[in-house]
């Protein structure tokens, strides 16, 4: 059980800490690209840092999927399937890192905020509706268990894979749609076309691979869905120790 929590903590660390830092490094690269006063060596440092952080996030998620699949199915993933899972997660998460960095560097802050909030809110609403409908003993407990507990799970689903195929498709489309203003406003040169089209194509390829290997992803994230559906512990009806029988 302790080993499971170690992997769970690593999963959330890589999808929040490493992923956020990779986005920041990528944003700095794009933001400073046209600044002639910036030393070229800085871009190499930022690029290596972004690649290492993104790889750490991808490895963390893939490792968790590998372990959870083994826990649920009691069999090790074939090497080819593991390779496809790695590709799909790499294309998916790295595509979103670059897409958010491009949106942040070229558009208004409110568009970036909307781009980040939309996939999260979609998954939060799904998690909230999936949650156990048992009545909590108090309003405080209800707020904590039904409103706060889905937050990290929704964030995980928003940056990786959601709990159903439909939500995964909708989440991916919501990420891609926020690149439309970028496409419309900055498409004068071939380089600019490549900048926005690479993350879009990467996410589309990732989505196809995810849907092909959906059974693996479903089993890997089944534990989180199970926790959402069983938040309320059944009450233990204790019998009196001594019962007087006439």
For residue 100, being part of any structural domain is answered with yes
For residue 235, being part of any structural domain is answered with no
- Residue 236, pLDDT score: 41
CA angle, 28 as apex, 25 and 32 as ends, to 5°?
A: 150
**pLDDT, tens only, 85-102:** 999 999 999 988 888 887
- Exposure string for 122-153, b = 16+ CB within 10 A, e = fewer: bbbebbeebbeeeeeeeeeeeeebbeebbebb
Lowest model confidence (mean pLDDT) among 26-30, 36-40, 237-241? 237-241
Query: In the structure, what pLDDT confidence band is assigned to residue 2 with cuts at 50, 70 and 90?
Result: low
Radius of gyration of the chain (CA): 22
Three-state SS at 36: coil
Nearby residues of 240 by Cβ (< 8 Å), 6 or more positions away: none
Range of the domain at 190: 2-229
For residue 202, being part of any structural domain is answered with yes
Query: In the structure, what pLDDT confidence band is assigned to residue 150 with cuts at 50, 70 and 90?
Result: confident
Question: Cα separation of 144 and 125, whole Å?
Answer: 16
Say what the pTM is: 0.78
How many domains does the chain fold into?
A: 1
Query: Looking at the predicted structure, is the pLDDT value of residue 237 above 60?
Result: no
For residue 246, being part of any structural domain is answered with no
In terms of pLDDT, which residue wins out, 206 or 103? 206
- Residue 193, pLDDT score: 76
For residue 187, being part of any structural domain is answered with yes
For residue 244, being part of any structural domain is answered with no
| Distances, alpha carbon 232 to alpha carbons 17, 139, 149, 163, 195, in Å | 30, 14, 12, 20, 47
Three-state SS at 216: helix
The 10 Å Cβ neighbour count of residue 63 is 15
For residue 214, being part of any structural domain is answered with yes
For residue 149, being part of any structural domain is answered with yes
Q: Are residues 160 and 198 in contact, defined by beta-carbon separation less than 8 angstroms?
A: no
């Amino acid at each position: 059980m302790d080993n499971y929590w170690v992997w769970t903590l690593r999963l959330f660390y890589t999808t929040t800490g490493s992923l956020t830092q990779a986005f920041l490094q990528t944003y700095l690269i794009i933001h400073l690209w046209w600044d002639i006063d910036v030393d070229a060596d800085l871009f190499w440092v930022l690029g290596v840092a972004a690649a290492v952080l993104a790889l750490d996030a991808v490895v963390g998620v893939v490792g968790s999927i590998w372990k959870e699949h083994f826990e649920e199915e009691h069999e090790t993933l074939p090497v080819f399937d593991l390779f496809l899972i790695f590709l799909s997660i790499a294309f998916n998460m790295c595509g979103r890192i670059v897409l958010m960095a491009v949106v942040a560097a070229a558009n208004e802050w409110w568009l970036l905020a909307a781009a980040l909030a939309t996939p999260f809110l979609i998954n939060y609403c799904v998690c909230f509706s999936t949650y156990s409908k048992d009545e909590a003993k108090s309003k405080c407990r209800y707020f904590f268990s039904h409103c706060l507990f889905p937050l990290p799970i929704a964030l995980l689903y928003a940056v990786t894979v959601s709990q159903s195929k439909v939500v995964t498709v909708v989440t991916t489309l919501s990420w891609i749609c926020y690149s439309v203003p970028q496409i419309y406003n900055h498409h004068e040169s071939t380089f600019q076309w490549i900048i926005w089209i690479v993350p879009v194509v990467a996410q589309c390829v990732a989505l196809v691979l995810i849907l092909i290997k959906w059974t693996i992803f479903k089993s890997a994230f089944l534990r989180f869905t199970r926790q959402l559906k069983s938040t309320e512990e059944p009450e233990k009806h204790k019998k009196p120790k001594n019962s007087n029988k006439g």
